[in-house]
Amino acid sequence: MPPAPWRLPALSPRFLPVWRRNFLVWRKLALPSILGNLADPVIYLFGLGFGIGMLVPEVGGVSYITFLAAGMVCYSTMNAATFEVLYSSFSRMHVQRTWDAILNAPVALDDVVFAELVWAASKALLSGAAILLVVTLFGFVEPRYVLWVLPLIFLVGLVFGALGLVVTALAPSYDFFMYYFTLFITPMMLVSGVFFPAEQLPEALRAVTGLLPLSHAVQIGRPLLLGQIPQDAGLHLGALAAYGAVAFWLALALMRRRLLK
């Protein structure tokens, strides 16, 4: 009888070979992958930063492109983790049946799913670190606390990786992912303080957007990149950790129900 799908995760170090397998496959296309993840946020950064920046000289006491740079780091991280667990993980799970082959070895499904999550966060760390390097080299951030942003990037990758795995567990095909982007990722990107201060939103909407995971990430990342200590950092980090833990547990339960029938 298969294990109850809603039991707590049972993880072991056996996830590491699965993570390594994903890394070795990705390494063959590492440069195009990094450049692809870097292109979108850099286009937004320079296109909107200089374009709107000519019309809006300052936002929150800094130039608009400086304001936008911090948001782009969080946005790039979210995108990299989300695309990995949606399209790549779905391919390995459903299309290529890679997971089926791995599960013939002494590796549990819990370890396979956890490896996918950690791998997505690892790719998100590379993507976020790349855009972080760009904005630092161009002088758009205060370098005092830049290195503190790297652990945040990894955590954000875990959070959005876990959320994306929930969608992957439910998806019948690639087309299903468009609902997730259209109904969740894109609206959240627009109202979470990436492109403009969330304080400008109507009060009712601001209360809702303040609960979104990307908002918590921006609330920590932007002050750090402006050389400031974030307010309520523990609260924001706790919220992100809670999102990640609950989403991973839910994703794993759905994966068990889907694959261990």
Residue 52 to residue 249: CA distance in whole angstroms: 41
Q: Is residue 212 within a helix (H) or strand (E), and if so which, with residue range?
A: none
Its pTM stands at 0.93
Strands of the chain, DSSP E = 58-59, 62-63
Average of per-residue pLDDT across 30-43: 80
Predicted confidence (pLDDT) at residue 216 exceeds the cutoff of 80: yes
Residue 55: its pLDDT value, please?
80
Average of per-residue pLDDT across 220-238: 93
Residue 58: its pLDDT value, please?
82
Predicted confidence (pLDDT) at residue 57 exceeds the cutoff of 80: no
Name which of 12-21, 40-49, 88-97, 149-158 the model is least confident about: 40-49
Residue 128 to residue 218: CA distance in whole angstroms: 13
Average of per-residue pLDDT across 72-82: 93
Average of per-residue pLDDT across 45-64: 82
Domain ranges for the chain: 15-259
With 0-12 / 13-18 / 19 or more C-beta atoms within 10 angstroms meaning exposed / middle / buried, residue 27 is: exposed
Task: Work out the pLDDT band at 74, boundaries 50, 70, 90.
Answer: very high
Predicted confidence (pLDDT) at residue 96 exceeds the cutoff of 90: yes
Q: What is the pLDDT of residues 18-32, one digit of tens each?
A: 999 999 999 988 888
Q: How many CA atoms lie within 13 A of 157 on its CB side?
A: 27
Strands of 68-175, DSSP E = none
Residue 76 to residue 218: CA distance in whole angstroms: 12
Q: Are 217 and 74 in contact (CB under 8 A)?
A: yes
Helix (H, G, I), strand (E, B) or coil at 188: helix
Task: Work out the pLDDT band at 1, boundaries 50, 70, 90.
Answer: very low
Q: What is the pLDDT of residues 196-210, one digit of tens each?
A: 888 888 888 888 898
Average pLDDT value for the chain = 91
Q: What is the pLDDT of residues 119-166, one digit of tens each?
A: 999 999 998 998 999 889 888 888 889 999 999 999 999 999 999 999
